[in-house]
Amino acid sequence: MNKLVINNLSKTFKIGNEFLEVFSKINLEINQGTNIGITGKSGSGKSTFLQIVASLDKPSSGEIFFNDNKFNQMKNDELSKLRLENFGFVYQFHHLLEDMTILENVLLPNQYNKSDKKFNNEEIFNLLEKVGLSERLHHLPWKLSGGEKQRAAIVRAIVNKPNFLFLDEPTGNLDESNAKSIQELLINLSKDLKFSLITSSHDIEFIKMMDLKYEIINRDLIYYD
């Protein structure tokens, strides 16, 4: 079973001549298949925490392991390969490439993944049908609704069969009906495909759908039920 282990993770930003400590000495283990929800006030460090755990940013101190791989001992190309094959990302904004069709956007990560651990084209078509985009494959993003764009972003994020899918306010730009639909889709996909969701959100109802729930309070990660 794949696992992320976070030991004494801290992050401090220097702003002018002052230092701002965002969070301090956080410890957490995340097993593949367990969905994690993280909430907190704006500016509490939720997004920064996700970025660091996903190896997109570096902590001020502390260590992160993916199985036996210690992030701060890996070269940049090794980290890139680890991310490509094991992590997926969905943000508040879909970040689709506007000059590429939905199908081209979705297939893009597959072109860089040289391993066998990815969905083939037939499986990707099935995924797109499952999320209701089978009739939108050759449309450019500007022709899609906000909910459809986010569904496309989700499929793009999972085509390489990630073990962990990082979600940073994934429904923050959607209306209530679309948000609920996308949230249910994410939960169902995580169960069907056996990956973990690691979610930061202000939406408490979405956080309640996770297996384990945390809040960043006063620079600490606090578990709550």
Nearest to 62 by CA among 17, 12, 14: 12
- Whether 116 shows a pLDDT value over 80: the answer reads no
Task: List pLDDT tens digits, range 8-58.
Answer: 999 999 888 888 899 999 999 999 999 999 999 888 889 999 999 999 999
Confidence at 166, pLDDT banded by 50, 70, 90: very high
For 71-111, the pLDDT digits (tens) are: 989 999 999 989 988 999 998 777 899 999 999 999 988 87
What is the domain-level CATH number for residue 172? 3.40.50.300
C-alpha 3/C-alpha 66 separation (Å) is: 6
The answer, yes or no, to whether residue 219 has pLDDT greater than 90, is: no
Query: Mean of the pLDDT values across residues 191-208?
Result: 93
Number of H helices, E strands in the chain: 7, 10
DSSP 106: H
Is 108 exposed, middle or buried (CB count within 10 Å of its CB: 0-12, 13-18, 19+)? middle
**pLDDT bucket at 68, cuts 50 / 70 / 90:** confident
d(CA 201, CA 98): 26
pLDDT of residue 225: 76
**Main-chain dihedrals φ then ψ at residue 31, nearest 5 degrees:** -90, 140
**pLDDT higher for 218 or 93?**
218
Count of domains forming the chain:
1
Residue 128 tokens read as 């797109």
The string of DSSP codes covering 186-212 is HHHHHHHHT-EEEEE-S-HHHHTTSSE
Q: 9-46 burial, b for 16+ CB within 10 Å, e for fewer?
A: bbbeeeeeeeeeebbbebebebebebbbbbbbeeebbb
pTM value > 0.75:
yes
Give every CB contact of residue 209 below 8 A, 6+ residues apart in sequence: 35, 37, 183, 187
Q: Which domain holds residue 27?
A: 3-224
More confident residue, 92 or 6: 6
Tell me, what's the pLDDT at 15?
85
Per-residue pLDDT, 5: 96
Residue given tokens 């993916």 in the structure block: 66
